[in-house]
Structure 1
Amino acid sequence: MRVHGALWGLLLMGTACGEDVLERLEDEASACDEAPALRLGPAPSAAVFLNAYYLQEEATRDVRRGLAESPGVEETLAKAAALGAWAVRTNAYNDGTGDAALQVAPLVYDEQALQGLDRVLARARVHGVRLVLTLGNYWDAYGGTRRYVGWAGLPSPVEGDARFFTAPTVIAHYTAHIGRLLSRVNTVDGLRYGEHPAVLAWELLNEPRGRGLDAEGRAMRAWVDTVAAEVKRHAPGHLVGTGEEGFDTSPEGYDAAFWRDAAPGSLFQGGSSFRRNTASPFIDFASLHFYPEAYGVRREATARAGARWFAEHAALARESGKPLFVGEFALRNREGFALEERRALYRGWWRCAWRSGVAASAPWMFAYDARPDSWDDYTFYFRDGSAPSDAANRYADLVIEAAALAGSR
């Protein structure tokens, strides 16, 4: 639901009486030791990116309508630039069904859907915003691992199917698809995807998890090596990351006692190892996401959990000589923390990222004005005619603050 009018007033009155609570939340969320600043390619240290996964989908529908431009794409990219965001993370995948599917059958493509992605790359370049492009999805949305396993003819595919990472036929299909996509020449500007200057980085998969794989994370690491090498072969000038959430096979190297209390059993269950994957010679930067409510983090530990999740992973990545990209982080809009509490946590986590040497971070998720708030539990805006600090925007002013801080170390 949306929160408007008098309800906003009640919310702000309630938090006005608890400034000490907000200050404590921000202090706990920013409680990170200073560490050397690292950068994600040419981006400034602690750069702010935005998530807008829907750009290819929106652009494809406009291509099908015969429109010369895509209003939602234009608005999103223009506002991202206005907020000071250095890059936008978005989907370069859409497999199987729906009116914007790129790959409609194994290595069979819809040209208009590809033209939608062409438009996203070309327009990002015009707006001066770089892109982090994700090549596939662990989850069922837009096809996911289940689709590839089904296309291979393997029985009873499921969401997050482990055979995506181990079956030779599936891996061969996925790497062949990557090769074709990165070899595409953009119909708008004539530039090959693997050389396109709008692209900062490619991610192998959105949120790969190790369910059903070996406890040490060896199978996932082998998959990372194989797929990342293929991306490197076709896009040697671009950065490559895994797209993972930061889970690991054991709490070694982390504050084990804290995590046992803050999020019992949810973060170190095996199958995929952040440390092992980050060490791959084909991976240029470490990847991390943070959804404390979804990960089972206790409410009272949320602020400190975010600070530790950022800082501990940044330190582990640094041991491999690599920067850390926090590709997604968010708290739910319609349940849990009140808006002012979320704002205090976000501000603190961005301060922690700056202190602990995180290379870049991207809150989930930014929307253009007409995109319904109800479509995503974490949406925020920069609405036309509003001040960034307007409560209806949620976090736009915090993005500006964090972007202004970036590169100042």
Structure 2
Amino acid sequence: MKPALQVAPGVYDENLWEGLDFLLAEMGKRNMKAVMVLSNFWSWSGGFSQYLKWAEHGEIPYPQMKEHDWWEYGNYTKDFLTNDKCLLWYRNHVKRVLTRRNSITGEFYKDDPTIMAWQLANEPRGYDDLEAFSKWIQQTSDLIKSMDGNHLVSLGSEGNTPFAKEGLRADIDNAYKNIDYITLHIWVQNWNWYTPGQGKSAYDAMVKKVDRYWNDHVAIAKKMNKPLVLEEYGMARDDFSYEVEASVEERNRYYWYIYNKFVSNVESEGAVQGVNFWSYAGEGRPLQPGEYWSLGDDFIGDPPHELQGWYGVYDSDVSTLEVVKENMTKVK
């Protein structure tokens, strides 16, 4: 993703800072809240792998390239957790963000009521270095709380995921006192649970897996007495089409299913306190649906390392937006 906010360790693009200032100021006018994600396990916004490259840890094995895959990328990126240079740069970045004074409102970010929470990173994972992962979670959450007593803190992980070797343990990863709520992501296509067009039996089998995954994490949240937020879930357009005009009947059906679970949970005062679909693209459109993002393309919600048009909900997807509106009205 270009341009980048941090172009080298401790070196920032002031124009991008001012853009973020503007975004927060406009969100504040609309009584909207922001979750500020402080880094990324995945490559599309730089994140852990970019820190490693700056530390001369070798070239990033981008999984979009034919000679690399996702597991190779993950095994490279996990080394962030044990690289002293990377950890120092990351901590410095956390401090820089929290102490940023908004050029429009004059407020420090750590005092800004528009910000709901700080998130340690997008979808971090420990792989086979669970001790280093746990240490990073505890130290980072402690650092943030030592500087900012106004905002919530979350980890940003998917939960346990179906793959044990990714090194995620929701009951342990979220147990630290300065992690205020538990995050959950459900990716039925990425996890090979379902793809639009596979039919009713496959859909029904997927629903059972989602129910089980949801219930497992609700049980963890109840045991820990912490709220749970389903931050990300989504589904492609019908027949796994990337085209903007493709129908969204299966997506709408899946959204209804998730929202029904959420509304029922709220009505029963359950652990799940929020649900966010991925992702709203608004007026943006992919220049080349089904291809990777290129410099100059619209940012539409689908991250640059994924094929554009996969999960985006456009302003023209009226039926999907009605599903969201109708259900969220029930829990106001």
Query: What is the TM-score with the length of structure 2 in the denominator?
Result: 0.79
1:170 aligned partner? 86
1:298-335 deviation per Cα after TM superposition (whole angstroms, max 9, x unaligned): 53422222222223212211211100011100011253
Instruction: State how far apart, in whole Å, the 1-side matches of 2:153 and 2:126 are.
Output: 20
How much has 1:270 moved relative to structure 2? 4.8
Relative to structure 1, is the Cα distance of residues 336 and 111 closer, same or farther in structure 2, using a 3 angstrom cutoff? closer
2:312 aligned partner? 379
Asked if 1:393 is matched to 2:318, the reply is: yes
How much has 1:268 moved relative to structure 2? 2.7
Bigger mean CA offset, 113-122 vs 218-227: 218-227
- 1:200-349 correspondence to structure 2 within 5 Å: 200-211=116-127, 213-214=128-129, 217-247=130-160, 266-298=162-194, 299-300=202-203, 301-333=205-237, 335-336=239-240, 339-349=248-258
Largest Rg, 1 or 2: 1
Greater RCO, 1 or 2 (C-alpha within 8 Å, sep 6+): 1
What one-letter code is carried by the residue in structure 2 that aligns with 1:107?
G
Query: Which SS does the other structure have where 1:335 is aligned?
Result: helix
- 1:94-173 correspondence to structure 2 within 5 Å: 98-99=2-3, 101-158=4-61, 159-160=73-74, 161-173=77-89
1:53-90 deviation per Cα after TM superposition (whole angstroms, max 9, x unaligned): xxxxxxxxxxxxxxxxxxxxxxxxxxxxxxxxxxxxxx
8 Å Cα contact 1:131-1:200 kept in structure 2: yes
2:305 aligned partner? none
8 Å Cα contact 2:238-2:251 kept in structure 1: no
What one-letter code is carried by the residue in structure 1 that aligns with 2:174?
T
Query: Which SS does the other structure have where 1:275 is aligned?
Result: helix
Question: Share of identical aligned residues, percent?
Answer: 29
Choose from 246, 271, 274 the match for 1:360. 274
Query: Which SS does the other structure have where 2:153 is aligned?
Result: strand
Choose from 104, 107, 113 the match for 1:188. 104
Bigger mean CA offset, 179-188 vs 338-347: 338-347
What one-letter code is carried by the residue in structure 1 that aligns with 2:223?
E
Instruction: State how far apart, in whole Å, the 1-side matches of 2:158 and 2:312 are.
Output: 20
Instruction: State how far apart, in whole Å, the 2-side matches of 1:394 and 1:136 are.
Output: 33
Instruction: State how far apart, in whole Å, the 2-side matches of 1:294 and 1:168 are.
Output: 32
8 Å Cα contact 1:134-1:204 kept in structure 2: yes
Question: What runs of 5+ residues in structure 2 fail to find an aligned partner?
Answer: 62-72, 195-201, 242-246, 290-307
Relative to structure 1, is the Cα distance of residues 376 and 226 closer, same or farther in structure 2, using a 3 angstrom cutoff? farther
Instruction: State how far apart, in whole Å, the 1-side matches of 2:133 and 2:318 are.
Output: 39
Question: What runs of 5+ residues in structure 1 fail to find an aligned partner?
Answer: 1-96, 249-265, 384-391
8 Å Cα contact 1:279-1:320 kept in structure 2: yes
Query: Which SS does the other structure have where 2:281 is aligned?
Result: coil
Query: Which SS does the other structure have where 1:343 is aligned?
Result: helix
Instruction: State how far apart, in whole Å, the 2-side matches of 1:162 and 1:178 are.
Output: 19
Bigger mean CA offset, 219-228 vs 152-161: 152-161
8 Å Cα contact 2:238-2:249 kept in structure 1: no
Query: Which SS does the other structure have where 2:52 is aligned?
Result: helix
What one-letter code is carried by the residue in structure 1 that aligns with 2:258?
W
